[in-house]
Amino acid sequence: MSDPPPPPQVSADGKFYWDGHRWVPMQQQVAAQPAVAQRPVPSSHRGRNIGCAAVIVGIVGIFIIASVGGRHSNNSTLKWDVSGRAIRTSHVGGSDSVQITVKNNGPKASNFIIYLNSGDDWFKHHVITGNDGGCSINKDLERLECGPLESGATKTVNIDGSPKDPGNFNFEAAAADQEGSDLLYPQQDGVLTWSEAVTA
């Protein structure tokens, strides 16, 4: 009997899973909300593969719970104040921007990350034309990687883009820290949401 395939890698907040190429949202945001900080809510449902033997499934389940629990215990030391603003109306081919400011009130962060692919996926509906925060764009993971964030430091990242598609969107930006293969989210509110109308 062969071993069952490993469960998919799920982000610490339960909003994304790794499909082998990029982080994919677990579900879409539907409520239009202002661009204000909200507390990330971990998902109570984690993807698990059912194996041939119940014992193996049980061991895999215990491993997942231990891993997620460890991530949440680390979150208690990640204390950020996250704020931001975003353009609410634009047109296809025009200019658009999102600003995110993070103040680190806890220990040094290894790699400050900004995700823009939740909700209606700002990353998918825009061409990113630049950012002035010194972040690199990781197109495969649909995120910006901004490097270490020292304790007590404040960092502001302005992300410039051009809309590709018309419509009424509900976008989301999430701030996180990556330590090794773990994504850690701040104890305080670390998610910004806003609505935007893009005309043709």
Please state the rounded mean pLDDT for residues 10-18. Answer: 71
- Asked if the structure places residue 39 within a domain, the reply is no
Number of continuous H segments (helices) and E segments (strands) in the chain: 2, 14
- Asked if the structure places residue 101 within a domain, the reply is yes
Q: What is the residue type of 13?
A: D
* Domain boundaries, position 139: 80-199
Pairing of strands 96-104, 154-163: antiparallel
Contact 53, 66 (CB under 8 A): no
Residue 105: strand, helix, or coil: coil
- Asked if the structure places residue 188 within a domain, the reply is yes
- Asked if the structure places residue 151 within a domain, the reply is yes
Q: Is the pLDDT assigned to residue 7 strictly greater than 70? A: no
CATH code for the domain in which residue 85 is found: 2.60.40.10
**98: nearest Cα among 120, 138, 130, 124:** 130
- Asked if the structure places residue 36 within a domain, the reply is no
Q: Is the pLDDT assigned to residue 84 strictly greater than 70? A: yes
Structure tokens at 15: 């909003």
Q: What angle do CA 68, 183, 9 make, to 5 degrees?
A: 60
- Asked if the structure places residue 120 within a domain, the reply is yes
pLDDT tens for each residue of 150-184: 999 999 999 999 999 999 999 998 889 998 888 88
Query: What is the model's pLDDT at position 64?
Result: 36
- Asked if the structure places residue 10 within a domain, the reply is no
**Read out DSSP for 141-181?**
TTEEE---B-TT-EEEEEEEEEE-S-EEEEEEEEEEEEETT
Distance, in Å, from the CA atom of 160 to the CA atom of 128, rounded to the nearest integer, reads 6
In this prediction the pTM is 0.60
Please count the structural domains in the chain. Answer: 1
Q: Which residues contact 102 (CB under 8 A, 6 or more apart)?
A: 80, 81, 82, 112, 149, 154, 155, 175
Distance, in Å, from the CA atom of 74 to the CA atom of 86, rounded to the nearest integer, reads 30
Q: Is the pLDDT assigned to residue 140 strictly greater than 50? A: yes
Contact 146, 114 (CB under 8 A): yes
pLDDT tens for each residue of 87-130: 999 999 999 999 999 999 888 999 999 998 888 999 899 998 88
Structure tokens at 124: 């998918």
Most confident of 14-28, 109-123, 183-197: 109-123
- Asked if the structure places residue 132 within a domain, the reply is yes
Query: What is the model's pLDDT at position 29?
Result: 37
